[in-house]
A = this chain, B = another copy of it.
Amino acid sequence: MLNAAAEFTVNDRYYRVPARPVVVICIDGGADEYLTAAMCRGRVPHITAMSARGYRGLVRAALPTFTNVNNASICTGLPPSKTGICGNFFIDPDTGREVMTNSTRYLRAPTILAAAAESGRRVAFVTAKDKLRAFLSSGLRGIAFSTEKADEARLPTHGIEDVESMVDESKPSIYSGAASVFVLRAGAAMIAGGKADFLFLSLTDYLQHKFSPEEEPVVEFYEQLDHEIGRMLELGAVVGITADHGMNGKHDGAGRPQVLYLETELVARFGDGIRVVCPITDPYVVHHGALGGAATVYLPSGLDRAAVIAWIADLDGVSEVYPRQLAARKLELDPEHVGDIYVLATRDVVLGRTPADHDLSGLDRPLRSHGSRYEEMVPMVVSEPLSAEYRMKALGDPRNFDIFDFVCNGTDVVTGTAGQE
Protein backbone atom coordinates (compact mmCIF):
# COMPACT_ATOMS: atom_id res chain seq x y z
CA MET A 1 0.00 0.00 0.00
CA LEU A 2 3.02 2.28 -0.08
CA ASN A 3 2.18 5.48 -1.95
CA ALA A 4 -1.54 4.70 -2.00
CA ALA A 5 -3.70 7.77 -2.18
CA ALA A 6 -4.95 8.78 1.25
CA GLU A 7 -7.10 11.47 2.72
CA PHE A 8 -7.52 13.09 6.08
CA THR A 9 -8.78 16.21 7.74
CA VAL A 10 -6.80 18.07 10.36
CA ASN A 11 -7.23 21.56 11.83
CA ASP A 12 -10.34 22.01 9.68
CA ARG A 13 -8.55 21.36 6.43
CA TYR A 14 -9.03 18.40 4.17
CA TYR A 15 -5.97 16.86 2.52
CA ARG A 16 -6.14 14.47 -0.40
CA VAL A 17 -2.72 12.87 -0.59
CA PRO A 18 -1.56 11.85 -4.07
CA ALA A 19 -0.66 8.25 -4.76
CA ARG A 20 2.98 9.23 -5.01
CA PRO A 21 5.65 10.15 -2.50
CA VAL A 22 4.92 13.64 -1.17
CA VAL A 23 7.81 15.81 -0.02
CA VAL A 24 7.62 19.25 1.57
CA ILE A 25 10.91 21.03 2.10
CA CYS A 26 11.36 24.10 4.30
CA ILE A 27 14.58 25.86 3.33
CA ASP A 28 15.39 27.70 6.55
CA GLY A 29 16.19 31.32 5.73
CA GLY A 30 15.56 30.47 2.09
CA ALA A 31 14.87 33.98 0.85
CA ASP A 32 13.75 34.09 -2.76
CA GLU A 33 16.97 35.89 -3.69
CA TYR A 34 19.02 32.76 -2.89
CA LEU A 35 16.98 30.67 -5.28
CA THR A 36 17.22 33.37 -7.94
CA ALA A 37 20.98 33.82 -7.61
CA ALA A 38 21.54 30.08 -7.96
CA MET A 39 19.02 29.90 -10.81
CA CYS A 40 20.53 32.65 -12.94
CA ARG A 41 23.91 30.91 -12.57
CA GLY A 42 22.42 27.69 -13.91
CA ARG A 43 23.21 25.85 -10.68
CA VAL A 44 19.74 24.56 -9.71
CA PRO A 45 18.48 22.83 -12.87
CA HIS A 46 15.88 20.68 -11.11
CA ILE A 47 14.30 23.53 -9.18
CA THR A 48 14.37 25.63 -12.36
CA ALA A 49 12.57 22.90 -14.30
CA MET A 50 10.09 22.44 -11.42
CA SER A 51 9.38 26.17 -11.45
CA ALA A 52 8.68 26.24 -15.18
CA ARG A 53 6.65 23.04 -15.27
CA GLY A 54 4.88 23.52 -11.94
CA TYR A 55 4.73 26.77 -10.04
CA ARG A 56 7.07 29.26 -8.46
CA GLY A 57 5.78 32.34 -6.68
CA LEU A 58 5.93 34.21 -3.41
CA VAL A 59 3.98 33.30 -0.31
CA ARG A 60 3.67 35.12 2.97
CA ALA A 61 5.30 33.64 6.05
CA ALA A 62 3.96 34.02 9.57
CA LEU A 63 5.20 36.93 11.66
CA PRO A 64 7.51 37.19 13.47
CA THR A 65 9.58 35.63 10.73
CA PHE A 66 11.37 33.06 12.86
CA THR A 67 12.09 29.38 12.42
CA ASN A 68 10.04 27.75 15.15
CA VAL A 69 7.03 30.01 14.57
CA ASN A 70 6.92 29.12 10.89
CA ASN A 71 7.76 25.44 11.21
CA ALA A 72 4.94 25.08 13.71
CA SER A 73 2.61 26.82 11.25
CA ILE A 74 3.77 24.73 8.28
CA CYS A 75 3.34 21.49 10.27
CA THR A 76 -0.21 22.40 11.23
CA GLY A 77 -1.48 24.65 8.43
CA LEU A 78 -2.35 27.27 11.04
CA PRO A 79 -1.20 30.80 11.91
CA PRO A 80 0.75 31.36 15.16
CA SER A 81 -2.39 32.57 16.95
CA LYS A 82 -3.67 29.01 16.67
CA THR A 83 -0.46 27.00 17.01
CA GLY A 84 0.52 28.83 20.19
CA ILE A 85 4.06 29.22 18.86
CA CYS A 86 4.55 32.98 18.45
CA GLY A 87 8.25 33.20 19.16
CA ASN A 88 10.78 31.31 21.21
CA PHE A 89 10.17 33.21 24.45
CA PHE A 90 7.54 35.14 26.30
CA ILE A 91 7.23 36.34 29.87
CA ASP A 92 4.90 34.28 32.03
CA PRO A 93 2.60 36.85 33.64
CA ASP A 94 2.30 34.72 36.81
CA THR A 95 6.00 34.27 37.48
CA GLY A 96 7.51 37.22 35.59
CA ARG A 97 10.03 34.81 34.13
CA GLU A 98 10.95 34.24 30.52
CA VAL A 99 9.52 30.98 29.28
CA MET A 100 10.81 29.09 26.27
CA THR A 101 7.90 28.17 24.02
CA ASN A 102 9.40 25.84 21.47
CA SER A 103 8.14 22.88 23.39
CA THR A 104 5.40 20.39 22.71
CA ARG A 105 3.73 21.71 25.84
CA TYR A 106 2.87 24.96 24.04
CA LEU A 107 1.87 23.49 20.69
CA ARG A 108 -1.92 23.66 20.69
CA ALA A 109 -2.82 21.82 17.50
CA PRO A 110 -2.15 18.38 16.04
CA THR A 111 0.23 18.27 13.09
CA ILE A 112 -0.48 17.39 9.49
CA LEU A 113 2.32 14.83 9.87
CA ALA A 114 0.57 12.97 12.68
CA ALA A 115 -2.71 13.03 10.74
CA ALA A 116 -1.07 11.75 7.56
CA ALA A 117 0.41 8.86 9.54
CA GLU A 118 -3.01 8.04 11.00
CA SER A 119 -4.42 8.00 7.46
CA GLY A 120 -1.99 5.25 6.56
CA ARG A 121 0.88 7.11 4.99
CA ARG A 122 4.44 6.37 6.05
CA VAL A 123 5.54 9.68 7.43
CA ALA A 124 9.08 10.93 7.95
CA PHE A 125 9.97 14.23 9.58
CA VAL A 126 13.63 15.19 9.36
CA THR A 127 15.21 18.38 10.65
CA ALA A 128 18.71 19.72 10.87
CA LYS A 129 18.33 20.90 14.48
CA ASP A 130 17.11 18.42 17.05
CA LYS A 131 15.06 20.92 19.04
CA LEU A 132 12.75 21.45 16.07
CA ARG A 133 12.28 17.69 15.63
CA ALA A 134 11.57 17.27 19.33
CA PHE A 135 8.81 19.82 19.61
CA LEU A 136 6.99 19.14 16.34
CA SER A 137 7.07 15.33 16.28
CA SER A 138 4.51 15.12 19.06
CA GLY A 139 1.84 12.55 18.31
CA LEU A 140 3.56 11.36 15.17
CA ARG A 141 3.55 7.60 14.58
CA GLY A 142 6.34 7.50 12.06
CA ILE A 143 9.95 8.47 11.56
CA ALA A 144 11.38 11.61 13.14
CA PHE A 145 15.04 12.43 13.57
CA SER A 146 17.54 15.24 13.15
CA THR A 147 20.96 15.58 11.56
CA GLU A 148 22.19 16.93 14.86
CA LYS A 149 21.41 13.69 16.66
CA ALA A 150 21.31 11.32 13.69
CA ASP A 151 23.48 8.84 15.56
CA GLU A 152 21.03 8.72 18.48
CA ALA A 153 17.98 7.72 16.40
CA ARG A 154 16.52 4.41 17.57
CA LEU A 155 13.58 2.44 16.24
CA PRO A 156 11.37 2.68 19.37
CA THR A 157 11.89 6.44 19.84
CA HIS A 158 12.57 7.77 16.34
CA GLY A 159 10.96 5.15 14.11
CA ILE A 160 14.32 4.51 12.46
CA GLU A 161 17.92 3.65 13.28
CA ASP A 162 21.28 3.34 11.53
CA VAL A 163 20.58 6.65 9.85
CA GLU A 164 24.23 7.37 9.12
CA SER A 165 24.57 4.04 7.27
CA MET A 166 21.40 4.75 5.33
CA VAL A 167 22.68 8.18 4.27
CA ASP A 168 26.18 6.77 3.87
CA GLU A 169 27.63 9.72 5.75
CA SER A 170 28.57 10.55 9.32
CA LYS A 171 26.42 13.30 10.72
CA PRO A 172 27.95 16.69 9.91
CA SER A 173 28.26 19.62 12.34
CA ILE A 174 24.99 21.45 12.98
CA TYR A 175 26.88 24.64 12.11
CA SER A 176 27.27 23.77 8.43
CA GLY A 177 25.42 23.63 5.14
CA ALA A 178 26.09 19.90 5.16
CA ALA A 179 23.65 19.55 8.08
CA SER A 180 20.87 20.53 5.66
CA VAL A 181 22.12 18.47 2.73
CA PHE A 182 22.12 15.48 5.10
CA VAL A 183 18.39 16.04 5.73
CA LEU A 184 17.58 15.86 2.02
CA ARG A 185 19.88 12.88 1.46
CA ALA A 186 18.10 11.06 4.24
CA GLY A 187 14.77 11.97 2.63
CA ALA A 188 15.79 10.60 -0.76
CA ALA A 189 17.20 7.46 0.86
CA MET A 190 13.97 6.82 2.76
CA ILE A 191 11.87 7.21 -0.39
CA ALA A 192 14.25 4.97 -2.34
CA GLY A 193 14.22 2.39 0.45
CA GLY A 194 10.43 2.39 0.77
CA LYS A 195 10.65 3.66 4.34
CA ALA A 196 8.57 6.79 3.84
CA ASP A 197 6.15 8.34 1.35
CA PHE A 198 5.03 11.51 3.15
CA LEU A 199 7.99 13.66 4.19
CA PHE A 200 8.60 17.00 5.81
CA LEU A 201 12.26 18.01 5.54
CA SER A 202 13.29 21.13 7.43
CA LEU A 203 16.76 22.63 7.01
CA THR A 204 18.97 25.09 8.88
CA ASP A 205 19.90 28.63 7.82
CA TYR A 206 23.50 28.59 8.99
CA LEU A 207 24.85 29.46 5.53
CA GLN A 208 22.21 32.08 4.78
CA HIS A 209 23.13 33.91 8.00
CA LYS A 210 26.73 33.99 6.78
CA PHE A 211 26.52 34.51 3.04
CA SER A 212 24.57 36.78 0.72
CA PRO A 213 22.77 35.12 -2.21
CA GLU A 214 25.45 35.43 -4.87
CA GLU A 215 28.36 34.16 -2.75
CA GLU A 216 29.80 30.86 -3.90
CA PRO A 217 29.45 28.82 -0.68
CA VAL A 218 25.70 29.36 -0.61
CA VAL A 219 25.29 28.93 -4.37
CA GLU A 220 27.12 25.62 -4.04
CA PHE A 221 24.85 24.74 -1.11
CA TYR A 222 21.78 25.31 -3.29
CA GLU A 223 23.38 23.20 -6.00
CA GLN A 224 23.69 20.34 -3.50
CA LEU A 225 20.10 20.77 -2.36
CA ASP A 226 19.01 20.79 -6.00
CA HIS A 227 20.86 17.54 -6.64
CA GLU A 228 18.96 15.77 -3.84
CA ILE A 229 15.66 17.30 -4.97
CA GLY A 230 16.39 15.91 -8.42
CA ARG A 231 16.78 12.46 -6.88
CA MET A 232 13.42 12.74 -5.15
CA LEU A 233 11.73 13.90 -8.36
CA GLU A 234 13.29 10.96 -10.17
CA LEU A 235 11.79 8.69 -7.53
CA GLY A 236 8.37 10.04 -8.51
CA ALA A 237 7.85 12.46 -5.65
CA VAL A 238 5.55 15.46 -5.74
CA VAL A 239 7.79 18.12 -4.21
CA GLY A 240 6.87 21.43 -2.60
CA ILE A 241 9.51 23.88 -1.44
CA THR A 242 9.03 26.89 0.78
CA ALA A 243 10.90 28.77 3.51
CA ASP A 244 10.24 29.73 7.09
CA HIS A 245 11.55 33.26 6.57
CA GLY A 246 13.76 35.36 4.32
CA MET A 247 17.14 36.84 5.22
CA ASN A 248 18.54 40.35 4.92
CA GLY A 249 21.76 42.17 5.65
CA LYS A 250 21.51 44.07 8.93
CA HIS A 251 24.58 46.23 8.60
CA ASP A 252 25.73 49.61 7.45
CA GLY A 253 27.89 50.39 4.41
CA ALA A 254 31.02 49.45 6.36
CA GLY A 255 29.59 46.07 7.34
CA ARG A 256 28.96 47.02 11.00
CA PRO A 257 25.79 45.57 12.60
CA GLN A 258 22.91 48.01 12.91
CA VAL A 259 21.32 47.24 16.25
CA LEU A 260 18.64 49.18 18.09
CA TYR A 261 18.98 48.18 21.75
CA LEU A 262 15.38 48.79 22.58
CA GLU A 263 15.44 48.05 26.32
CA THR A 264 18.46 50.32 26.78
CA GLU A 265 16.71 53.14 24.90
CA LEU A 266 13.41 52.68 26.69
CA VAL A 267 14.92 52.52 30.17
CA ALA A 268 16.96 55.63 29.46
CA ARG A 269 13.82 57.47 28.42
CA PHE A 270 11.08 56.02 30.65
CA GLY A 271 12.95 54.50 33.61
CA ASP A 272 13.51 51.05 35.07
CA GLY A 273 11.11 48.15 34.90
CA ILE A 274 10.68 47.97 31.15
CA ARG A 275 11.63 44.60 29.73
CA VAL A 276 12.25 43.72 26.10
CA VAL A 277 12.06 40.14 24.86
CA CYS A 278 13.77 39.17 21.60
CA PRO A 279 11.76 36.22 20.37
CA ILE A 280 14.55 34.99 18.05
CA THR A 281 16.58 33.87 21.07
CA ASP A 282 17.32 30.14 21.01
CA PRO A 283 20.18 27.83 21.93
CA TYR A 284 21.80 28.27 18.50
CA VAL A 285 22.68 31.96 18.44
CA VAL A 286 26.31 32.01 17.34
CA HIS A 287 25.47 33.21 13.83
CA HIS A 288 23.07 36.02 14.73
CA GLY A 289 23.72 36.90 18.37
CA ALA A 290 19.98 36.57 19.16
CA LEU A 291 19.35 39.72 17.15
CA GLY A 292 16.31 39.77 14.88
CA GLY A 293 13.77 42.10 13.37
CA ALA A 294 11.02 41.69 15.99
CA ALA A 295 10.79 42.39 19.70
CA THR A 296 8.10 42.66 22.32
CA VAL A 297 8.06 45.11 25.21
CA TYR A 298 6.66 44.54 28.70
CA LEU A 299 5.85 47.71 30.59
CA PRO A 300 5.59 48.18 34.34
CA SER A 301 2.12 49.20 35.48
CA GLY A 302 1.51 52.92 35.55
CA LEU A 303 3.41 53.74 32.39
CA ASP A 304 1.34 55.37 29.62
CA ARG A 305 1.39 52.76 26.87
CA ALA A 306 0.23 55.11 24.13
CA ALA A 307 3.07 57.52 24.91
CA VAL A 308 5.63 54.72 24.80
CA ILE A 309 4.21 53.46 21.51
CA ALA A 310 4.39 56.91 19.95
CA TRP A 311 7.97 57.29 21.14
CA ILE A 312 9.05 53.90 19.78
CA ALA A 313 7.28 54.52 16.46
CA ASP A 314 9.41 57.59 15.91
CA LEU A 315 12.73 55.78 16.45
CA ASP A 316 14.97 55.20 13.46
CA GLY A 317 15.10 51.52 12.66
CA VAL A 318 11.50 50.90 13.71
CA SER A 319 8.98 50.10 11.00
CA GLU A 320 5.79 49.08 12.81
CA VAL A 321 4.58 49.28 16.42
CA TYR A 322 1.43 47.70 17.85
CA PRO A 323 -0.32 47.54 21.20
CA ARG A 324 -0.87 43.94 22.35
CA GLN A 325 -4.41 43.32 21.09
CA LEU A 326 -3.81 44.94 17.71
CA ALA A 327 -0.57 42.98 17.33
CA ALA A 328 -2.47 39.79 18.07
CA ARG A 329 -5.09 40.64 15.48
CA LYS A 330 -2.91 42.07 12.70
CA LEU A 331 0.14 39.82 13.12
CA GLU A 332 -1.92 36.69 13.98
CA LEU A 333 -0.33 36.23 17.39
CA ASP A 334 -1.64 34.93 20.67
CA PRO A 335 -2.07 37.97 22.95
CA GLU A 336 -0.93 35.89 25.94
CA HIS A 337 2.44 35.44 24.31
CA VAL A 338 2.88 39.08 23.40
CA GLY A 339 4.04 41.90 25.66
CA ASP A 340 2.29 45.24 25.99
CA ILE A 341 3.86 46.44 22.75
CA TYR A 342 5.08 44.64 19.66
CA VAL A 343 7.79 46.14 17.45
CA LEU A 344 9.02 45.31 13.93
CA ALA A 345 12.28 46.70 12.56
CA THR A 346 13.16 48.23 9.21
CA ARG A 347 14.88 46.19 6.52
CA ASP A 348 18.48 46.60 7.66
CA VAL A 349 18.15 46.96 11.43
CA VAL A 350 17.82 44.38 14.21
CA LEU A 351 16.30 44.87 17.63
CA GLY A 352 18.25 43.99 20.77
CA ARG A 353 17.65 44.18 24.48
CA THR A 354 20.82 45.74 25.90
CA PRO A 355 24.38 45.43 24.57
CA ALA A 356 25.21 43.01 27.43
CA ASP A 357 22.47 40.61 26.29
CA HIS A 358 23.91 39.98 22.86
CA ASP A 359 27.21 38.35 22.08
CA LEU A 360 28.40 39.44 18.66
CA SER A 361 31.86 37.94 19.05
CA GLY A 362 30.87 34.89 16.96
CA LEU A 363 30.14 37.05 13.91
CA ASP A 364 32.87 36.66 11.34
CA ARG A 365 30.84 38.20 8.51
CA PRO A 366 28.45 41.18 8.22
CA LEU A 367 25.30 40.38 10.21
CA ARG A 368 22.40 38.86 8.30
CA SER A 369 19.19 38.09 10.12
CA HIS A 370 15.38 38.01 10.01
CA GLY A 371 12.24 38.45 12.09
CA SER A 372 10.68 41.55 10.50
CA ARG A 373 8.15 42.06 7.73
CA TYR A 374 11.08 42.37 5.32
CA GLU A 375 11.64 38.63 5.68
CA GLU A 376 7.94 37.84 5.27
CA MET A 377 7.75 37.05 1.55
CA VAL A 378 9.31 33.68 0.74
CA PRO A 379 9.26 31.38 -2.28
CA MET A 380 6.87 28.54 -2.88
CA VAL A 381 7.80 26.06 -5.60
CA VAL A 382 5.56 23.13 -6.50
CA SER A 383 6.73 20.44 -8.90
CA GLU A 384 3.36 19.90 -10.61
CA PRO A 385 1.11 22.36 -12.46
CA LEU A 386 -1.49 23.90 -10.17
CA SER A 387 -5.18 23.38 -10.79
CA ALA A 388 -7.17 26.44 -11.87
CA GLU A 389 -8.52 26.81 -8.33
CA TYR A 390 -5.08 26.77 -6.70
CA ARG A 391 -3.58 29.00 -9.35
CA MET A 392 -6.15 31.65 -8.39
CA LYS A 393 -5.36 31.02 -4.73
CA ALA A 394 -1.63 31.37 -5.43
CA LEU A 395 -2.28 34.79 -6.98
CA GLY A 396 -4.08 36.09 -3.90
CA ASP A 397 -2.45 35.90 -0.50
CA PRO A 398 -1.14 32.34 -0.14
CA ARG A 399 0.89 31.49 2.95
CA ASN A 400 3.95 29.36 3.45
CA PHE A 401 1.86 27.26 5.84
CA ASP A 402 -0.47 26.42 2.95
CA ILE A 403 2.31 24.35 1.38
CA PHE A 404 0.90 20.92 2.34
CA ASP A 405 -2.48 22.10 1.02
CA PHE A 406 -0.94 23.12 -2.30
CA VAL A 407 1.08 19.93 -2.66
CA CYS A 408 -1.78 17.62 -1.67
CA ASN A 409 -4.85 19.42 -3.00
CA GLY A 410 -3.50 21.92 -5.51
CA THR A 411 -2.50 19.67 -8.36
CA ASP A 412 -4.23 17.00 -10.37
CA VAL A 413 -1.70 14.26 -9.69
CA VAL A 414 -4.08 11.88 -7.89
CA THR A 415 -6.16 11.37 -11.00
CA GLY A 416 -3.11 11.58 -13.20
CA THR A 417 -1.35 8.65 -11.53
CA ALA A 418 -4.27 6.59 -10.28
CA GLY A 419 -3.21 3.80 -12.58
CA GLN A 420 0.09 3.48 -10.74
CA GLU A 421 -1.41 2.50 -7.39
- Which residues from chain A sit less than 8 Å from chain B, CB to CB? 32-33, 36-37, 39-42, 48, 51-52, 55-58, 60, 212-214, 249, 251-255, 313-314, 319-320, 326, 329-330, 346-348, 366, 368, 373-374, 377, 389, 392-393, 395-397
Selected from B36, B249, B348, B397, the residue in CB contact (under 8 A) with A56 is B36
- The CA-CA distance from A55 to B56 in the complex, in Å, is 21
Distance to closest chain B CB from A176 (angstroms):
22
- Which residues from chain B contact A37 at a C-beta distance below 8 Å? 51, 56
Selected from B39, B48, B313, the residue in CB contact (under 8 A) with A330 is B313
Among A346, A347, A395, the one with the most B-chain Cβ atoms within 10 Å of its Cβ is A395
CB-CB under 8 A for A51 and B40, given A251-B395, A395-B212: yes
Copies in the complex: 2
Contact B314 A326 (CB under 8 A): yes
Selected from B214, B252, B366, B393, the residue in CB contact (under 8 A) with A253 is B393
Contact A347 B60 (CB under 8 A): yes
- Which residues from chain B contact A212 at a C-beta distance below 8 Å? 395
Selected from B41, B55, B396, the residue in CB contact (under 8 A) with A214 is B55
Across the two chains, which residue of chain B brings its CB closest to A318?
A: B330
Contact A52 B48 (CB under 8 A): no
Selected from B33, B39, B392, the residue in CB contact (under 8 A) with A57 is B33
Among A346, A393, A396, the one with the most B-chain Cβ atoms within 10 Å of its Cβ is A396
Distance to closest chain B CB from A229 (angstroms):
14
Please classify the interface of chain A as helix (H, G, I), strand (E, B), loop, or mixed, using the class held by over half of its residues: mixed
- The CA-CA distance from A384 to B20 in the complex, in Å, is 45
Across the two chains, which residue of chain B brings its CB closest to A250?
A: B396
Selected from B40, B58, B374, the residue in CB contact (under 8 A) with A48 is B40
- Which residues from chain B contact A329 at a C-beta distance below 8 Å? 314
Contact B373 A395 (CB under 8 A): no
- Which residues from chain B contact A255 at a C-beta distance below 8 Å? 392
Among A33, A41, A58, A314, the one with the most B-chain Cβ atoms within 10 Å of its Cβ is A58
Contact A347 B57 (CB under 8 A): no
Among A36, A314, A320, the one with the most B-chain Cβ atoms within 10 Å of its Cβ is A36
- Which residues from chain B contact A389 at a C-beta distance below 8 Å? 253
Across the two chains, which residue of chain B brings its CB closest to A251?
A: B396
- Which residues from chain B contact A39 at a C-beta distance below 8 Å? 36, 39-40
- Which residues from chain B contact A254 at a C-beta distance below 8 Å? 392
- The CA-CA distance from A41 to B249 in the complex, in Å, is 29
- Which residues from chain B contact A347 at a C-beta distance below 8 Å? 60, 397
Selected from B33, B52, B253, the residue in CB contact (under 8 A) with A396 is B253
Contact A319 B330 (CB under 8 A): yes
- The CA-CA distance from A376 to B39 in the complex, in Å, is 23
* A-B residue pairs in contact (CB < 8 Å), sample of 19: A36-B36, A36-B51, A37-B51, A37-B56, A40-B48, A40-B51, A40-B56, A41-B52, A55-B214, A57-B213, A60-B347, A249-B396, A251-B392, A251-B396, A253-B396, A313-B326, A320-B320, A347-B397, A348-B397
- The CA-CA distance from A329 to B251 in the complex, in Å, is 21
- The CA-CA distance from A389 to B252 in the complex, in Å, is 11
- The CA-CA distance from A154 to B286 in the complex, in Å, is 64
- The CA-CA distance from A345 to B326 in the complex, in Å, is 15
Beyond A55-B214, A253-B393, list 15 extra A-B contacts (CB 8 Å): A32-B32, A36-B51, A37-B56, A40-B56, A41-B52, A42-B52, A57-B213, A249-B396, A253-B392, A254-B392, A313-B330, A314-B326, A320-B320, A348-B396, A366-B395
